[in-house]
């Protein structure tokens, strides 16, 4: 069994949203270059495979799929944030396929865990709309694949600095997929308030904690200790998926948080340990945002070190008054759904 599978492909570098766009090929180049320069024992790199039409259809509407297919081979503008180049559609289909492939490898026991190093990212894409740099929602497509592979309960944790509105929308009324998100709030795209907890059968299965600008490693540690890990343990996932955005890094030019690479390592450690306790270590990370090349590459490297068993990071102690207040709002909104949060 491979300890940590890394899935990537040169096609991901040919998605070109524009020379001034923050979601540029240099992001992934910087990640891959550092992994080449400082290789991590226990990792294996494989080429990605594209998603099938059926795999895309499990998450996205026919209207969106046909619209995006029509952009193949073209430069186009979907919205002020989201542009395509001639290879963007094929790169997006490959990113979605790599996400499914990672799930297949981990669920089958051929890899203990996996990291999908792909672009474009995906967590803002709703079932019917591409937006926010994203075309297809890779983590939602991966979760649907996991359900088909026999996982009864799938956990998605999203630590990108922006709320994953598209992933939330995909599972808003469902209880087989638990969506948990930490994000800067209020911030783009405007969703992710603590009272957004899902509806119908899915009530309580969306967990949002919007942290204030300036949130630290320690603030995130309190969130994991007092909310994310207890709820996740009560949910008992068969697979843990992470929308791994790194734009909460202190060097990021877009986000306003001050996480360090070892803070990301601590979050990854928490999810690795959770997966070890709950589901035999089945853990898949999928690259989302992160726009400081140094901060992104060092943070991805830190997470791969944790996944491969080379490192174990812990959160520092302490929590700010502002972060504690945000955490309490989320706990209050979810108490009636999760007894582990008290009554």
Euclidean distance between CA atoms 184 and 188, whole angstroms = 8
Euclidean distance between CA atoms 75 and 192, whole angstroms = 32
The residues assigned a catalytic role are: 124
């Amino acid at each position: 069994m491979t300890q940590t599978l890394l899935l990537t492909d040169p096609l991901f570098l040919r998605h070109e949203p524009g020379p001034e766009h923050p979601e540029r090929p240099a992001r992934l180049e910087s990640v891959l270059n550092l992994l080449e320069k400082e290789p991590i024992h226990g990792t294996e790199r494989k080429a990605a495979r594209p998603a099938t039409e059926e795999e895309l259809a499990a998450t996205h509407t026919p209207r969106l799929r046909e619209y995006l297919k029509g952009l193949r081979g073209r430069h186009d503008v979907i919205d002020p944030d989201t542009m395509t180049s001639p290879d963007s559609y094929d790169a997006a289909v490959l990113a979605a396929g790599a996400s499914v492939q990672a799930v297949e490898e981990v669920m089958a026991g051929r890899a203990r865990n996996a990291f999908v190093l792909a672009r474009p990212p995906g967590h803002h894409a709703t079932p019917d709309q591409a937006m926010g740099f994203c075309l297809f929602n890779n983590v939602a497509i991966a979760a649907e694949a996991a359900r088909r592979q026999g996982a009864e309960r799938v956990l998605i944790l999203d630590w990108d600095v922006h709320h994953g509105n598209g992933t939330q929308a995909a599972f808003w009324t469902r209880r087989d997929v638990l969506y948990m998100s930490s994000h800067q709030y209020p911030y783009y795209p405007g969703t992710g308030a603590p009272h957004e907890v899902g509806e119908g059968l899915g009530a309580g299965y969306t967990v949002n904690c919007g942290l204030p600008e300036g949130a630290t490693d320690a603030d995130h540690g309190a969130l994991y200790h007092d909310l994310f890990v207890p709820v996740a343990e009560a949910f008992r996932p068969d697979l843990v998926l992470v929308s791994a955005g790194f734009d909460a890094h202190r060097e990021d030019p877009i986000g306003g948080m001050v996480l360090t690479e070892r803070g990301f390592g601590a979050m990854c450690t928490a999810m690795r340990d959770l997966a070890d306790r709950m589901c035999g270590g089945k853990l898949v990370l999928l690259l989302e945002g992160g726009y400081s090349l140094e901060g992104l590459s060092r943070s991805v490297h830190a997470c791969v070190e944790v996944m491969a068993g080379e490192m174990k990071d812990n959160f520092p102690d302490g929590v700010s008054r502002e972060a504690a207040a945000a955490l309490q709002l989320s706990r209050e909104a979810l108490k009636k759904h999760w007894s582990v949060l008290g009554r």
